[in-house]
Chain A
Amino acid sequence: MAQSIADLSKEDLFGQGNAGCGGCGAAIAGRQAMKALGSRTIITIPASCMATMGGSNLKTTWQIPFYHTLFEIAPAVSSGIRAALEAQGIEDVNVVSWAGDAGTADIGFQALTGAAERNEHMLHVCYDNEMYMNTGGQTGSQTPMYAITSNMAKGKQVKKKNMLAIMEAHGVDYVASASIAYPLDLIEKFRKAAAKPGFSYIHLLSPCHRGWQIPPEKTIEYARLAVESGLFELYEVDEGVRTRNLEPTFIPVEDYLSSQGRFKNLTPEAIQGIQAGVNKHYGRGE
């Protein structure tokens, strides 16, 4: 992490006046990311809270070109935009598609995998709050196992799909995870991604206090606990080379999970299982 906050641009290209809930993790992510991307950026956002809070009718919070796309198409639209810019000889513009977990991993997956396979010169960002919040909080592929959502009161029965591994398997220029609790790391990753000639993917954890059933003032705190427990690993794969960006302090996963309303039905066995999974991943034995 090269910079300190004082070195960042003071401009707010997104967020002021936004229609998100007070304490919205997505809004924080957007504000942080724009410090790296700058004003020569075109952003496409499919149906999601992020698109909705971008503005209504004749008002918007965005200071850059922003297009609220149909649910599935953001990476495909971005591919078209990049093609047009190239055809017109315009070179120094970032093209970004910014989607939630549905628009990235589920309904938007087809367009995402297509754009990644073509190694399009663009960045796709998944802002992950681990449920379909814009429609009230239903279960999606990015919802962790056991999480209670608005349409699964007994909790999800299957695992969260590993999007970072999937995108890494596409062999694209840059894949990274980020968390809004580590803004300088996040901003640095956006800078790296924007500089790549091909396709970049950033998967960032942005808690939604309504869906996770946590107090709004603790949005950042939980984004930090997820990383410190080891459950959300901060790493990057740059041209195929994997680097872990932060060694977690390994607080017990229980400290992160049990105080969230969506995990209130977690049994001690389930917690043990999750802890064992984390330990195994980091080579810390059972």
Chain B
Amino acid sequence: MVKNLPVVPTAKAGSLVETPTGITWRIQYPVILETCNMCLDCTLFCPDGALVQQEGKIVLKVSLCKGCGICANECKENAIEMIPEYSGVKGVFR
């Protein structure tokens, strides 16, 4: 069965946001601590746009996060901690 496709090979704008690549790649994820001073640096250092400013706080869109750890490494206030996705001998997937 031939697929029904657009005439010109194209993709709809923003279509990857709903099914992000890397959703299963994460082995750690960031947690924002109380010491965050809202400098907003992490929102510009995240390669995936997973850290967003919402209602005066930094919020993690976890489905977009690949767990690279740049945010935690760069935070001048040490307000970001990377937590493993699973822990223990057998591993408990979060």
Chains A and B share a contact (CB less than 8 Å)? yes
Using a CB–CB cutoff of 8 Å, the interface residues on chain A facing chain B are 4-6, 8, 10, 12, 15-25, 27-28, 31-32, 35, 53, 55, 57-65, 180, 183, 215-221
Cα distance, A57 to B47, chains bound together (Å): 22
A-B contact pairs, 11 of them (CB 8 A): A16-B14, A17-B20, A18-B47, A20-B47, A22-B48, A23-B68, A28-B70, A55-B15, A60-B11, A183-B41, A219-B47
Contact B70 A59 (CB under 8 A): no
Contact A22 B16 (CB under 8 A): no
* Interface SS of B by simple majority: loop
B49: contacting residue among A6, A15, A220, CB under 8 A: A15
B12: contacting residue among A12, A23, A58, A221, CB under 8 A: A58
A59: contacting residue among B15, B22, B44, B48, CB under 8 A: B15
B43: chain A residues at CB < 8 Å are 5
8 nearest interchain CB pairs? Answer: A217-B69, A17-B20, A23-B68, A22-B66, A17-B16, A27-B47, A22-B68, A5-B40
Contact A217 B72 (CB under 8 A): yes
Contact A219 B44 (CB under 8 A): no
Contact A55 B70 (CB under 8 A): no
Q: A16-B20, A17-B20, A17-B64 are in contact. Are A218 and B73 (CB under 8 A)?
A: yes
Binary A-proximity of B34-64 (CB < 8 A = 1, otherwise 0): 0000011101111111101100000001001
Q: A23-B68, A23-B69, A183-B45 are in contact. Are A58 and B11 (CB under 8 A)?
A: yes
Contact B68 A217 (CB under 8 A): yes
Contact A23 B16 (CB under 8 A): no
Asked if B74 is at the interface of the complex by the 8 Å CB criterion, the answer is: yes
Contact B67 A22 (CB under 8 A): yes
A15: chain B residues at CB < 8 Å are 47-49
B87: chain A residues at CB < 8 Å are none
A27: chain B residues at CB < 8 Å are 47-48
A16: chain B residues at CB < 8 Å are 14, 16-17, 20, 48-50, 61, 64
A259 vs chain B, min Cβ distance (A):
14
